[in-house]
Structure 1
């Protein structure tokens, strides 16, 4: 499907946001980031777009994250709170407000501990504020806190790990795809795991690709069950 560019705003005199990630052989990373035009993202409003079924509040300008969460909430549009590297910008009270507004939240294990430290709440207590809380745990898979239970989602087997940058984004894309197809959390989480596994086998954040048949075949091999879409 073609992606619309209707809501891309050009900010004169500003560069597009740029990130430079340096990774060592132990997968330790240092990021250098210039926000540029991203600092003006709050100029875009949720109400500018029609037919939104599911939103994502991801790392963005501080004002944009706060305002877009409020706009999704006021419009009764379900959304993911995915703070990522933007998490340190917010106080404990602000993070709790995000959780109270959001339908779902997703963080990695490091970010989840930061939320615990900032809010003073346990993981279980935070999970009670959203319909589902997802915590990704790298090679250990992920945990989904939903309906008063904890789902353990396995990681998918990989060949050679080349670059972890972007694995979290790939996981999120898989989960969003699964939910958009009406799948349950188990299946959506496994799709996310496989997306992350495929990504880590490639250098760069968007240099990997696969066909639907290739993905379905690898899913069946990884999890010993048929791919739940189109099967």
Structure 2
């Protein structure tokens, strides 16, 4: 299965605030917020949703194509992705701009406040997905992730025109998209990814009910943090997959990207949506336990063990041959 992932490529500046954001907010003053948080830790890591998802897919043995725009400082990040098994030939490297920046502060309750600087990502709208399609001699699925809004719309339209299945994943960019744009990204998607908050925001943006969204997409995958993931279908079906628990919550950044990587790898291996979600949840917990979105160590035996403990021996036995092949 040939998978292309379009989305942001970024440098992450990750900070930790030892207190709670909620304790600093005064309810009747939220319209005039002026806060500064003294943080204890700073980690500078390579990230971006497109890069993170392809990194996970590459580590699981696939050969995903990354489609996005990076800056003049991309060389080291690019080498790291290639070493992980990512095809970066469709990455546009700006001649003048720096790679996008994600600046995020996490509090002790794992709440986050973040700012994203566009940088070279603005040039993603210049990328023609048709060229990637021909270079790869065909694509089976394109995940359209958070990116320059014009690029997201262009990639979606091109994928539909080429007859490629689309996984719509607007995530953070829902805040920038209007009703027409959001509908354009969702309509006709084979898969739709959102977290629980984004699912409500997506309904508000589109003006569609949950049932109306499901009439327009094949399957809706809603991530629910510590509560796992829900898989919704137009026929009214719903599967709730519990998360893989951990006592080591080091950094939630990139956890959703890891879940998507695991889920898409499962689909590439022709597993059921349930099994794919279980793999996604296991990989998400591995990422949660490390600081940085591409710093984790992936051990097939560890993933199999996590699946066995949470979902049972039959689920682990189904995944084990694929994961052993990765190692």
Same topology, TM > 0.5:
yes
Correspondence for 2:120:
37
Give the alignment partner of residue 265 of structure 2, picking from 145, 170, 177: 177
Task: Map 1:181-220; keep pairs closer than 5 Å.
Answer: 181-220=269-308
Counterpart-to-counterpart distance in 1, 2:173 and 2:87: 26
User: CA offsets, 1:45-71, max 9 Å, x none?
Assistant: 111122211111001111100100000
Query: TM-score normalised to the size of structure 1?
Result: 0.95
Residue in 1 aligned with 2:172?
Answer: 85
Q: Which runs of 5+ in 2 are unaligned?
A: 1-62, 64-84, 323-327
Larger relative contact order, structure 1 or 2 (CA cutoff 8 Å, min sep 6): 2
CA distance in 2 between partners of 1:4 and 1:139 (Å):
32
Residue of structure 2 in register with 1:70 after alignment: 157
Give the 3-state SS of the residue equivalent to 1:207 in structure 2: coil
The alpha carbon displacement at 1:176 in A equals 0.6
Residue 147 of structure 1 and its aligned partner are, at CA, apart by: 5.3
Structure 1 unaligned spans of 5+: none
How much does 1:138 deviate?
0.6
The separation in 2 between residues aligned to 1:54 and 1:177, in whole angstroms, is: 12
Structure 1 distance, partners of 2:212, 2:122, is 32
Q: Compute the TM-score of the two structures, normalised by the length of structure 2.
A: 0.68
Q: In the TM superposition, what are the counterparts of 1:75-224 in structure 2 within 5 Å?
A: 75-146=162-233, 148=235, 149-224=237-312
Partner of 1:13: 96
- Whether contact under 8 Å (1:171, 1:192) holds in the other structure is yes
Equivalent residues in 2 for 1:47-62, closer than 5 Å: 47-49=130-132, 50=136, 51-62=138-149
For 1:73-104, what per-residue CA distance to the aligned partner results, in whole angstroms no more than 9, with x for missing partners?
A: 10010021001111112122321222213211
Give 1 or 2: higher strand fraction. 2
Per-residue deviation, residues 120-165 of structure 1 (Å, max 9, x unmatched): 2222321221110011011111111125101111111213212111
Q: Retained in 2: the 8 A contact 1:170–1:196?
A: yes
Determine if contact 1:59/1:85 at 8 Å carries over to the other structure.
yes
For the 8 Å contact 2:121–2:148, the answer to whether it is kept is yes
